[in-house]
Amino acid sequence: MKHLRKVDPQIAELVAKEQKRQETTLMMIPSENMASSAVEEAVASSLGNKYAEGYPHRRYYQGQGYVDQVEQLAAVRAKKLFDVDCANVQPYSGSPANLAVLLALCNPGDTILGLALDSGGHLTHGANVSFTGKFFNAVQYSVGKDGFLDYEQISRLAKKTKPRLIIAGTTAYPRIIDWKKFAQIADDVGAYLLADISHISGLIVGGVYPSPSPHVHVMMTTTHKSLRGPRGAMILVTHRGLAKDEKIMDKIDKAVFPGLQGGPHENTIAGIAVALKEASAPHFKKYAKQIVANAKTLAQELLSYGFTLVSGGTDSHLILIDLRNKDLLGNTMAVACERIGIILNRNAIPFDPNPPFYPSGIRLGTPGITSRGMKEKEMKKIASFMHTLIKDLLETKKRLGISKEDEKKKETRKRLVAHTKSIPLLRTEVFNLCKKFPLKEVY
CA distances to 128, 172, 307, 403 from 362, in Å: 22, 10, 11, 20
Q: Which amino acid does the sequence have at 159?
A: K
109 contacts 161 by C-beta, under 8 angstroms: no
User: What H or E segment, with its residue span, contains residue 392?
Assistant: helix 376-400
Instruction: Give the list of residues 6+ apart from residue 366 with CB closer than 8 angstroms, or none.
Output: 28, 30, 291, 292, 294, 295, 298, 317, 379
Is 225 a catalytic site residue? yes
Please name every residue paired with 13 in a beta bridge, in sequence order, or none if there are none: none
193 contacts 182 by C-beta, under 8 angstroms: yes
Is 51 a catalytic site residue? yes
Q: What are the backbone dihedrals phi and psi of residue 86, each rounded to the nearest 5 degrees, phi first?
A: -140, 150
Distance CA 9, CA 20 (A): 16
Pinpoint the alpha helices (H) of 83-216: 94-105, 131-134, 151-161, 179-189, 201-205
Q: CB neighbours (10 Å) of residue 354?
A: 18
Is 187 a catalytic site residue? no
Q: CB neighbours (10 Å) of residue 64?
A: 21
Is 238 a catalytic site residue? no
Pinpoint the alpha helices (H) of 52-125: 65-82, 94-105
Name the catalytic one among 222, 297, 332, 396: 222
Cis ω for the linkage preceding 214 (within 30 of 0): no
Is 305 a catalytic site residue? no
Name the catalytic one among 40, 53, 83, 85: 53
Please name every residue paired with 194 in a beta bridge, in sequence order, or none if there are none: 167, 218
CA distances to 298, 313, 384 from 304, in Å: 10, 12, 10
236 contacts 218 by C-beta, under 8 angstroms: yes
Name the catalytic one among 231, 251, 415, 427: 231
200 contacts 226 by C-beta, under 8 angstroms: yes
Interhelix angle 376-400/330-340, nearest 10 degrees: 120
Name the catalytic one among 225, 240, 346, 372: 225
Q: CB neighbours (10 Å) of residue 362?
A: 27
Is 222 a catalytic site residue? yes
Instruction: Give the list of residues 6+ apart from residue 143 with CB closer than 8 angstroms, or none.
Output: 115, 119, 120, 149, 150, 173, 311, 350
Catalytic residues: 51, 53, 196, 222, 225, 231
